[in-house]
Amino acid sequence: MKLNVLFVIYLLSYSCHALYYQLPFDNHQLKSTLKLKTIYHHASANGPIPGLFRKLEIADQEVAVNQQQDTAYGVSGHFAAISRPNYNDIDLLRSMRDQGRLARWSEPITYFESAIELVPDVTDRKTVTALAMMTNNAYLDIHLNDTEWYDLGTPWQLNASFGWQSDGLRGHIYATDDNSLVVVSIKGTSAGLWTGGPTGEKDKINDNLLFSCCCARISRAWTPVCDCYKDNEYQCESSCLQKKIQRSEFYYDSALNIIDDIQKKYNASTLWITGHSLGGAVASMVGQTFGIPTVTFEIPGDRLPSTRLHLPVGKGMDLPVWHFGHTADPIFIGVCTGPASSCWYGGYAMESRCHTGKVCIWDTVKDKNWRVDIRSHRVRDVIEGILSKPEDFPMPKCVPETDCADCSLWQYHDDRDDKERKSTSTLSSTTTTHTQQPPTDPWSP
């Protein structure tokens, strides 16, 4: 009898526990005001000072830099169920990337855990506008006292002639007064793309290796970023491309270092990430790695580089990543290709077109007769031409991108497969009494 009573109590408690997770949680909107608090700078590997990693704490009186930046940003969020990688898998992914030993046959991380997190309200125009403004202000020059930067890596003696501030990745940190919410705005490709911004050449290397189908091999007139292509055919050697990626230092790697330091400082805070263009793509890849809510603007297709970096994926997973853009932006929709394109003349091979997470698209070509033009790629055009005109441009619905394929003309093969087949054939035709040794490490030279 006692066992029956205990069993009934167990069933009731289990049912109540299950009911708790089935009931809708309180989805009320939370509003916060954020201010610029910190600026991170991580030099590129090929810059004038490789290894430079610094941060600058911003005093309240310095927030309005050159009177160009707004001093506060209002955002809204709500609690939602999201999918994120298991932390053990994140550590494994990072250790494999550091060692350059991602096996070509290994599946991407597919172990996800569900969590209830505060996410940006991507249906709220003011919130999306505030995030877009944060991305825009990451491009602005910062004229502050150089001596007030803290070195997070090797200390350096700097002077203005080195131009260290113009090289590498920059992250602007916005936070509420109580640090309960922190937003990281990542700076990417220089706003001028072809003519403006001193970091353009460094950004171009990152763009062309990750966002081209194969080493930015477009024509004989181009200088490719690697030699993994075969003659003039649409054939690419996969292991060659993978090794080039593994041995290269990307802004993605620099962003991971920045996020590490932010998570240590704000370990009890809710973290969001945002960015535009290459900065938005880096933000997306970092968001996928950690499962951090991320909002981007006008980024090239990030599914291709995410796959090449073996970032976590999961069918049907609700990744907290949203990409805003419009159909007149050739980079966002993946048509900035070919000899007649602006990307071609600028030396960019932006061939990817598919996005992760969800896309939030304004059809400015169909609805407003905008022409597809590289000049509409600026985030200020989104702010002033779309977000500031609610009557003309209602907020778009964010949906997963379907029926999308990258680099469909290319064929990818792996020379190691040929070596393995040849080795297998040799072994099968040779009789021996010795025990077969284990296969060699596929990533060894």
Number of C-beta neighbours around residue 3 at 10 A: 7
**CA dist., res. 237 & res. 254, Å (int):** 27
Strand pairing partners for 42? Answer: 53, 169
Q: Which of 239, 277, 284, 352 is catalytic?
A: 277
**What is the DSSP track for 144-189?**
--GGGPEESSS-----GGG-GGGSSEEEEEEE-TTSSEEEEEEE-S
**CA dist., res. 237 & res. 217, Å (int):** 12
Number of C-beta neighbours around residue 9 at 10 A: 10
Phi, psi of 99, deg, nearest 5: -85, -10
Q: Is 53 helix (H, G, I), strand (E, B) or coil?
A: strand
DSSP state of 370: P
Tokens of 123: 């249906």
- Look-up: residue for tokens 């030699």? 227
Half-sphere exposure (CA, 13 Å, Cβ side) for 415? 13
Tokens of 420: 């393995």
- Of all helices (H) and strands (E), which one includes residue 304? helix 303-308
- Look-up: residue for tokens 């600058």? 56
Question: Is the Cβ–Cβ distance between 275 and 296 less than 8 Å?
Answer: yes
**What is the DSSP track for 241-282?**
HHHHHHTSPPHHHHHHHHHHHHHHHTTTSEEEEEEEHHHHHH
Tokens of 118: 């505060």
Rounded to the nearest 10°, the torsion over CA 18, 19, 22, 25 is -120
- Look-up: residue for tokens 């916060």? 32
Tokens of 131: 């995030």
Angle at 419 between CA 415 and CA 423, to 5 degrees: 170
Active site residue 277: yes
Question: Is the Cβ–Cβ distance between 40 and 1 less than 8 Å?
Answer: no
Catalytic residues, which ones?
A: 277
